[in-house]
Amino acid sequence: MSRIAAWEDDPQSALHIEPVTRPAPIVKQPRLGLSLVGPEPPARVYVRGTSGFRYWNAADALSRGICYWGRALPEDARWHAGRSLVVDLDAGVDLNAYYDRQELCFFHATVRGVAVYSGESPDVLCHELGHALLDTIRPQLWNAASIEVASFHESFGDISAILSALELESVRDVVLADTGGKLARASRVSRLAEQLGWAIRQSHPDAVDADCLRNAVNSFFYRQPESLPPMAPASALSSEPHSFSRVFTAAWLESLAEMLGRRGATPATLAAVAVDAGRLLVAAVRSARIASNYFAQVAAGLLAADAVLFDGAYRDGLRRAFVGRGILSMSSAEATLHGARARTAAAPRRGAALRTIGVPVDGRAYGLRVGRLLVEAPLGPARWSAASAAPDLGSLAAATPERASRAFVEDLLRRGRVDASALAPTRATPGRPGRTTHALVRKGGDVRLVRRLFHELVSGRCTRMPARAGKDV
Ligand SMILES: [Zn+2]
């Protein structure tokens, strides 16, 4: 079999790191296949920095991620577009990457003389892959007007990068040695996208963590995202989804550490626990109610899935991790455990569409004479649904669908993430080209907010207000 050269997790994940050689992966699979843009170079060991190296490095990382998640996904899982997922490893100059339901797109930029390709980092590759996989598991999350749902999409991407890296025996060995078997300590796998983080840090020093793009080991306690500022340095939480995602990712990594602690920390048990963790997460996402406090719903789903799949073997560790972070309130965790089996046995509402509601916006502030947008709102709380912890005592009431949607829309507009060119193509629009994630689409007399993609820009700054108002709608 041919061998290729590839990074294990990131080009800058350790000092003096060199690529490893690996068997050439099979890219064209019938089930969750990939279609890399451009001709396939012959499979052999290429020198780093060449396009042949980047091609096989990306094919290796993405195949590893698909192989890992394939074990947890149902047999009939397919990409959202219903065909091979297109992968463009170099779509132009930027420090970015995105998933738009058709393709995974990566970029490059030269920073301090170093050519940084986002598609050269297995961490970034498997993060984007995570967006695509979550979209196959729960497509209703795509358009949900909820900060917490968008943040979970980012968290799932980071978890996908961690679990894909742990597929490698060499990484498991290093991580166990470096952390003394305590997976909740900072390590190569907790540090996501070291090189991209370094590149962004050169121009925006406080936009990313000091040692990588995002470290899954942090000290953030749950807050209702609608109450957070729209931007903050990396040392604080904001409602920006990449920032807020760190609460869930950290709790989840702690739960993985607890699961490993229960089984005994060896490379073999780490491999087994990582597989169990993926099965739990997929089951939780399939059943979790898409509510404004979505983190709590997924955490409750994990406890419920553990009761069914593993007879509650990981219950105490999961509860400690998610209650400890305030993602689940203590009373909610108890209630979840008592009702876990019954609720998981009920068929998941995979096909249930989210309700469309009208959200009032002051479009003039953003150069648009739009008074109302139609959005897909998250569901409201139900009598039995899980709750997060209040910062002081007890449980926190979930934001109403109206408040959650309004906060989500306001954040997008403030960050310049909405493309309104379809409404007023010749006028100034609130979104910055290449920086938008959503678009405004006119349908009859209504204007609807629709997601176009998930991208990885974390250093967004408030957009300048255009001088002239846009067209009436
Ligand atoms: Zn992302």
What residues pair up with 299 in beta bridges, in sequence order?
none
Query: Of 49-63, 72-86, 229-243, 323-337, which range is least confident?
Result: 323-337
Query: Distance from the CA of 98 to the center of ligand 1, in angstroms?
Result: 7
Query: Distance from the CA of 242 to the center of ligand 1, in angstroms?
Result: 7
Do the strands 191-192 and 214-215 form a parallel or antiparallel pair, or are they unpaired? antiparallel
Q: What residue ranges in 311-428 does DSSP mark as E strands?
A: 356-360, 372-376, 388-389, 395-396, 418-419
Confidence of residue 422 (pLDDT cuts 50, 70, 90): confident
Question: Which 3 state secondary structure label does DSSP give 380?
Answer: coil
Query: Distance from the CA of 445 to the center of ligand 1, in angstroms?
Result: 33
Strand order of the β-sheet with 446-451 is 356-360, 372-376, 446-451, 438-443, 418-419
Query: Distance from the CA of 131 to the center of ligand 1, in angstroms?
Result: 7
- Average confidence (pLDDT) over 85-101: 96
Query: Distance from the CA of 123 to the center of ligand 1, in angstroms?
Result: 11
Residue-level pLDDT at 14: 86
Residue-level pLDDT at 464: 34
Query: Distance from the CA of 456 to the center of ligand 1, in angstroms?
Result: 5
Residue-level pLDDT at 421: 86
Query: Distance from the CA of 447 to the center of ligand 1, in angstroms?
Result: 26
Give the H/E segment covering residue 439: strand 438-443
d(CA 203, CA 315): 44
What residues pair up with 446 in beta bridges, in sequence order?
443
Query: Distance from the CA of 313 to the center of ligand 1, in angstroms?
Result: 31
Query: Distance from the CA of 149 to the center of ligand 1, in angstroms?
Result: 12
For the chain, the average pLDDT equals: 91
Q: What's the burial of 354, exposed, middle or buried (CB within 10 Å: 0-12/13-18/19+)?
A: buried
Give the H/E segment covering residue 173: helix 169-179
Residue-level pLDDT at 437: 96
Buried b / exposed e along 68-106 (16+ C-beta atoms within 10 A) = bbbebbeeeebbbeeebbbbbbbbeebbbbbbbbebbbb
The answer to whether residue 425 scores a pLDDT higher than 70 is no
DSSP state of 240: S
Query: Distance from the CA of 103 to the center of ligand 1, in angstroms?
Result: 13
Calculate the CA 364 to chain-centre distance.
Answer: 32
d(CA 449, CA 443): 11
Question: Which 3 state secondary structure label does DSSP give 429?
Answer: coil
Query: Distance from the CA of 152 to the center of ligand 1, in angstroms?
Result: 10
SS3 content of the chain, % helix, strand, coil (to 5): 40, 15, 45
Query: Distance from the CA of 42 to the center of ligand 1, in angstroms?
Result: 31
Query: Distance from the CA of 73 to the center of ligand 1, in angstroms?
Result: 20
